[in-house]
């Protein structure tokens, strides 16, 4: 390689490190994603000494493709979308950190309290909503629980809808568009805490067993030094620090901890058994 080519290569590498491009699966509306993740992006800018640009995507597959095609550098994945990205990239997606809550995550099934639905079996013959087809907590894990209970969603439900996001899932039950639905337990708890849902009218009738879920992931081609800086910044978020506490609150986290690919092997196996991969 000539001196000019070598200089250009170094220049390109340096330019690539001036901006960190971040996105997330659209588990909630785009406005809510921006509200939640902007303070974290500002924090990362300070910690990394580089510009951080957060851009919402339209759907879960778009988050996967953005990482696989290296259109973004850092993605907040659900467990299932992480597995999809890992497989689509030829095992080149690296999970850096997850919330402490993600080690024992759960999904909830909700219905109107006067619907007569008190158990999974009661859902038979009803109109049901999942979140995105690519959602871990809003589809993959709830579907697995249903199958284990002897329920075939395609045969036993009157209709299956996919809302696309957890907040939309809640709205579909509240409005009566569907009779019951499955979603992320932390989004449900947030809605209850913020009085955005009347639990006398709509409430949880089943909670799933625990599983590993969300994580922050990067592409393996990212320089290891930058991977380590991002991980260190996430792990350094301290609830005793008011600024950090607000970031953690917005991200429904007590703190971030390290994670590893092995944590998602069980989820990958479950998804394969369900024919989702």
pLDDT digits 0-9 by tens, 177-218: 999 999 999 999 999 999 999 999 999 999 999 999 999 999
Per-residue pLDDT tens over the stretch 51-108: 999 988 989 999 999 999 999 999 999 999 999 999 999 999 999 999 999 999 999 9
Check if the beta carbon of residue 139 is closer than 8 Å to that of residue 133: yes
Give ∠ CA 82-139-93 in degrees, rounded to 5. Answer: 5
21-35, 83-97, 152-166: segment of lowest average pLDDT:
21-35
DSSP alpha helices (H): ranges in 77-235?
79-88, 141-148, 153-156, 166-174, 185-193, 224-235
> 3-state DSSP call for residue 207?
strand
Q: What is the DSSP letter of 194?
A: T
> Distance (Å, rounded) from C-alpha 175 to C-alpha 96?
39
Residue 107 backbone dihedrals phi, psi, to 5 degrees: -110, 155
pTM of the model: 0.88
| Confidence label for 14 from pLDDT (cuts 50, 70 and 90) | very low
Percent residues over pLDDT 90 in the chain: 90
> 3-state DSSP call for residue 166?
helix
- pLDDT, position 30: 86
């Amino acid at each position: 390689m000539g001196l000019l080519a070598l200089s250009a290569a170094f220049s390109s590498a340096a330019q690539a490190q001036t901006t960190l491009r971040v996105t997330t699966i659209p588990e909630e509306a785009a406005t809510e994603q921006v509200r939640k993740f902007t303070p974290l992006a500002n924090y990362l800018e300070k910690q990394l000494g580089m510009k951080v640009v957060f851009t919402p995507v339209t759907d879960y597959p778009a988050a996967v493709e953005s990482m696989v095609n290296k259109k973004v550098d850092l993605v907040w994945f659900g467990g299932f979308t992480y597995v999809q990205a890992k497989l689509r990239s030829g095992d080149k997606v690296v999970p850096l950190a997850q919330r402490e809550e993600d080690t024992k995550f759960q999904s909830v099934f909700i219905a109107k309290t006067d619907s007569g639905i008190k158990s999974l079996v009661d859902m038979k013959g009803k109109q049901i909503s999942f979140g995105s087809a690519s959602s871990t907590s809003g589809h993959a894990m709830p579907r697995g629980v249903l199958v284990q209970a002897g329920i075939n969603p395609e045969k036993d439900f009157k209709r299956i809808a996919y809302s696309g996001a957890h907040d939309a899932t809640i709205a579909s039950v509240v409005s009566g568009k569907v009779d019951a639905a499955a979603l992320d337990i932390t989004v449900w708890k947030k809605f209850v805490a913020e009085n955005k849902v009347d639990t006398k009218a709509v409430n949880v009738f089943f909670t799933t067993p625990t599983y590993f879920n969300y994580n922050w992931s990067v592409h393996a081609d990212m320089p290891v030094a930058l991977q380590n800086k991002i991980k260190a910044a996430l792990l350094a978020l301290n609830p005793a620090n008011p600024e950090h506490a607000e970031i953690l609150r917005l991200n429904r986290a007590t703190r971030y901890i390290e994670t590893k690919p092995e944590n998602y092997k069980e989820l990958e196996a479950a998804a394969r058994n369900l024919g989702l991969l």
